[in-house]
Amino acid sequence: EPTETLLEVNNIEVIYNHVILVLKGVSLSVPKGGITALLGGNGAGKTTTLKAISNLLHSERGEVTKGSISYRNAPVADLNPSALVKKGVIQVMEGRHCFEHLTIEENLMTGAYTRGAGRGEIAKDLEMVYEYFPRLRERRKSQAGYTSGGEQQMCAIGRALMSRPETVLLDEPSMGLAPQLVEEIFGIVKDLNEREGVSFLLAEQNTNVALRFAHYGYILESGRVVMDGPADELRENPDVKEFYLGMS
Ligand code: ATP
């Protein structure tokens, strides 16, 4: 059966401060039930693409000046982030944004409010998050600001899950984390994808790890998609090997 497309980014251009052209016609699509990786080096435009989708560019003086973005065939250009969350799309920002003065559990609870779910349902979702992230259960009473970088990343993902998203836009989950933790977090992402059916669009500089866990990848360079394909094909591609996987 054909896979359903959830998110469709069609030839978007993004300009910062009215002059700096950062995305020069980016197109990509995110199918239901997939893990889609958006790859590329520092400054390639990964974060900008995710922020364009969740309408977070305005505060950065950025603007989508061309192209279109739709979710389930409906344009999302006029939706603010909370309206997008209601549609099932949530972004986990780069740098693990947790509320430092709240406990892990309080942080997770803030993720449920956007949804207006009942208490029973929230308790069930909290249990679901703790099942995927046993470390968060252990640390649930700890103030987030005093937990490790890996735990804060988990907390940011867990909080997003509390809105019961259909699609998570995950920005650079590996940033600043030791390799073993990166494996752990990607493993959980894979489990969430397989068992809960959550779709992911994952921006990553760590091509190696991302292509092992994703189904499909797009490679961005200077604001353009220069290559895309199934993850296993990209991993075998000689150019990808040479320029992104550090082996030829
Ligand atoms: P990183 O991994 O560093 O986040 P990235 O691929 O996510 O890289 P972006 O953060 O999207 O890249 O940045 C793409 C380009 O846009 C960079 O050249 C960056 O300097 C520029 N840029 C990002 N934000 C702004 C802004 N608010 N104003 C002007 N230029 C910006």
Q: Which residue positions in the chain have pLDDT lower than 50? A: 248
Supply the pLDDT for residue 30. 98
Strand-pairing partners, residue 30, are 7
Supply the pLDDT for residue 17. 92
Closest CA to 45 of 215, 242, 203: 203
Q: Quote the ligand 1 centre to 154 CA distance (angstroms).
A: 24
Name which residue sits closest to atom 30 of ligand 1, judged by CA.
16
Q: What is the pLDDT of residues 25-59, one digit of tens each?
A: 999 999 999 999 999 999 999 999 999 999 999 88
Burial class (CB in 10 A: 0-12, 13-18, 19+), 151: buried
Rounded distance between C-alpha atoms, residue 226 and residue 188, angstroms: 29
The reply to whether ligand 1 has any atom less than 6 angstroms from the CB of 173 is: no
Supply the pLDDT for residue 1. 57
Supply the pLDDT for residue 2. 63
Cβ-based neighbour number of residue 149 at 10 Å = 14
Lay out the sheet containing 35-39: strands in order across: 89-92, 167-171, 199-204, 35-39, 216-221, 224-230
For ligand 1, pick from 46, 53, 171, 172 the residue to mutate: most ligand atoms within 8 Å of CB.
Answer: 46
Name which residue sits closest to atom 9 of ligand 1, judged by CA.
45
Name which residue sits closest to atom 31 of ligand 1, judged by CA.
16
Name which residue sits closest to atom 27 of ligand 1, judged by CA.
60
Supply the pLDDT for residue 78. 83
At 102, which helix (H) or strand (E)? none
For ligand 1, pick from 47, 94, 224 the residue to mutate: most ligand atoms within 8 Å of CB.
Answer: 47
Rounded distance between C-alpha atoms, residue 5 and residue 45, angstroms: 22
Tokens (6 digits) for 227: 């290559």
The reply to whether ligand 1 has any atom less than 6 angstroms from the CB of 15 is: no
For ligand 1, pick from 13, 15, 20, 94 the residue to mutate: most ligand atoms within 8 Å of CB.
Answer: 20
For ligand 1, pick from 15, 19, 22, 170 the residue to mutate: most ligand atoms within 8 Å of CB.
Answer: 22
**Whole-model pTM over 0.90:** yes
Q: Quote the ligand 1 centre to 43 CA distance (angstroms).
A: 5
Q: Determine contact, residues 155/129, Cβ cutoff 8 Å.
A: no
Q: Quote the ligand 1 centre to 57 CA distance (angstroms).
A: 11
Rounded distance between C-alpha atoms, residue 125 and residue 164, angstroms: 8
Supply the pLDDT for residue 248. 37
Rounded distance between C-alpha atoms, residue 28 and residue 67, angstroms: 12
The reply to whether ligand 1 has any atom less than 6 angstroms from the CB of 222 is: no
The reply to whether ligand 1 has any atom less than 6 angstroms from the CB of 248 is: no
